[in-house]
Amino acid sequence: MVIALIGATGLVGEMMIRVLEEQQIPFTNFIPCASERSVGKEITVGGKPYKVQSVEDAIKAKPQLAIFSAGAATARKYAAAFAENGTYVIDNSSAFRGEEDVPLVVPEINADRITQSTRIIANPNCSTIQMVLPISSIHQKYGIRRLVISTYQSVTGTGVNAVRQLFNERAGKSGEMAYPHPIDLNCFPHGGDFDEHGDAAEEMKLVNETRKILGAPGIKITATVVRIPVMGGHSEAVNIETEKAFRMNEVRSLLESTQGVVVQDNPKNSIYPMPKYAEGRDEVFVGRIRRDQSLENGINLWIVADNLRKGAATNAVQIARYLIDQQWL
Ligand code: A2P
């Protein structure tokens, strides 16, 4: 199997390589791709050096699998050319997530949406993945009526330039700004462009992607996304209103038995999920599990995950693993 990785020099791309290595995804050749300015650079995968190539050259090589992590514009420009050659494309950008015939997949929830003839598979947004994984079983059992989400997102979700901005500010150095404001010792409620209602693009991703993954277009969802000067992962305060009544101990057991979820919930002993400790982990951590006393059927959760791993690379590699397990790759 030949694998191409588009965006191999980015933060998520580098993490993709690490997770592909860890998960021992087999390949006979690996084609790292990036923008023209990186072509020719060397990248080590599985102990072997590979030269960064142009996306055009990767298309000509007709790989069996192309993983995209280079933004929506690059995916829109090149994904179809890979797909036309029969390549399975797993795209980490927002380019195709809303398209009806493109499965939007969190493997633990809906890998069965992929068929052998699917060619483009969308990896959801990082904030969406870590939220839907724990709440999916709550939805199945009690029916979610409404979600109110507040995020506290790591700078790593914005990419290499944002991490550089944070560390430049810390070191008192000037440099290129990835954000419209300083991020160190600051936070801002701004994730992407604002629409006519005043919602940010990252907020609408949470709304639309959650509905699609859960197959529940009627769930009412509202979100506020906030960028904070943190590295290890995204955190989310999630308020859930369900249709059916529940017992809190049942909700807790449901979360404890959800594949890929780890419950860390003993607040009196200061135990709850934190991005510093989620870093480098593939699981989604859930804590502060409690009844919302202001609602008849309300639950509050605090959800944390490494946005570069389960929020991006791990989820994409799990999709690749699913294709291999089906013997389609
Ligand atoms: P490059 O390093 O050459 O700019 P991040 O999100 O961490 O900033 O990473 C973005 C990734 O997408 C990088 O690997 C970047 O390559 C790649 N990329 C950006 N624009 C293009 C493009 N037009 N074609 C291919 N890869 C691109």
Nearest-CA residue for atom 24 of ligand 1: 35
pLDDT score of 263? 98
Cα 178 to ligand 1 centre (Å): 14
Report yes or no: 1 and 65 within 8 Å, Cβ to Cβ.
Answer: yes
User: Residues, the chain, total?
Assistant: 329
Three-class secondary structure of residue 266 per DSSP? strand
Return d(Cα 156, Cα 107) in angstroms, integer: 23
CA 76 to chain centre: 19
Return d(Cα 79, Cα 88) in angstroms, integer: 9
Q: How far is CA 160 from CA 27, 166, 278, in A?
A: 27, 10, 20
User: Which class does domain 127-307 fall in?
Assistant: alpha beta
Select from 3.30.420.10, 1.20.1250.20, 3.30.70.100, 3.40.50.720 the CATH code of 2-124+312-325. Answer: 3.40.50.720
Cα 34 to ligand 1 centre (Å): 5
pLDDT score of 135? 98
Q: Which residues have CB under 6 Å of ligand 1?
A: 6-11, 13, 33-35, 37-38, 55, 70-71, 74, 159-161
Question: In 189-249, which ranges are E strands?
Answer: 220-227, 234-242
Nearest-CA residue for atom 4 of ligand 1: 35
If you search the block for the tokens 């923008």, which residue do you land on? 35
Please report the sign of the dihedral spanned by the C-alpha atoms of residue 274, residue 209, residue 226, residue 174.
Answer: positive
Cα 314 to ligand 1 centre (Å): 19
Segments making up each domain of the chain, as ranges:
2-124+312-325, 127-307
Return d(Cα 15, Cα 25) in angstroms, integer: 14
Cα 35 to ligand 1 centre (Å): 5
Position 188: which residue type? F
Ligand 1 atom closest to the CA of 161, numbered from 1 = 8
Cα 73 to ligand 1 centre (Å): 10
Helix (H) or strand (E) holding 4: strand 2-6
Beta bridge partner(s), residue 173: none
Return d(Cα 192, Cα 30) in angstroms, integer: 32
Ligand 1 atom closest to the CA of 54, numbered from 1 = 25
Ligand 1 atom closest to the CA of 39, numbered from 1 = 3
Q: Which of 6, 16, 35 to mutate for ligand 1's pocket (most ligand atoms within 8 Å of CB)?
A: 35
pLDDT score of 276? 98
Q: Which of 74, 165, 231 to mutate for ligand 1's pocket (most ligand atoms within 8 Å of CB)?
A: 74
pLDDT score of 56? 98
Q: How far is CA 151 from CA 23, 128, 131, in A?
A: 29, 10, 10
Q: Mean pLDDT across the chain, nearest whole number?
A: 98
What number is the average pLDDT over the span 119-139?
Answer: 98
pLDDT score of 20? 98
Nearest-CA residue for atom 23 of ligand 1: 35
In eight-state DSSP terms, residue 188 is: B
Report yes or no: 299 and 137 within 8 Å, Cβ to Cβ.
Answer: no
Three-class secondary structure of residue 224 per DSSP? strand
Ligand 1 atom closest to the CA of 52, numbered from 1 = 3
pLDDT, tens only, 152-188: 999 999 999 999 999 999 999 999 999 999 999 999 9
- Active-site residues: which are they? 126, 234
pLDDT score of 99? 98
pLDDT score of 256? 98
Beta bridge partner(s), residue 157: none
pLDDT score of 278? 98
Q: How far is CA 24 from CA 16, 209, 244, in A?
A: 12, 29, 43
Three-class secondary structure of residue 66 per DSSP? strand
Report yes or no: 109 and 133 within 8 Å, Cβ to Cβ.
Answer: yes
pLDDT score of 222? 98
Token pair in block for residue 256: 């404890």
pLDDT score of 241? 99
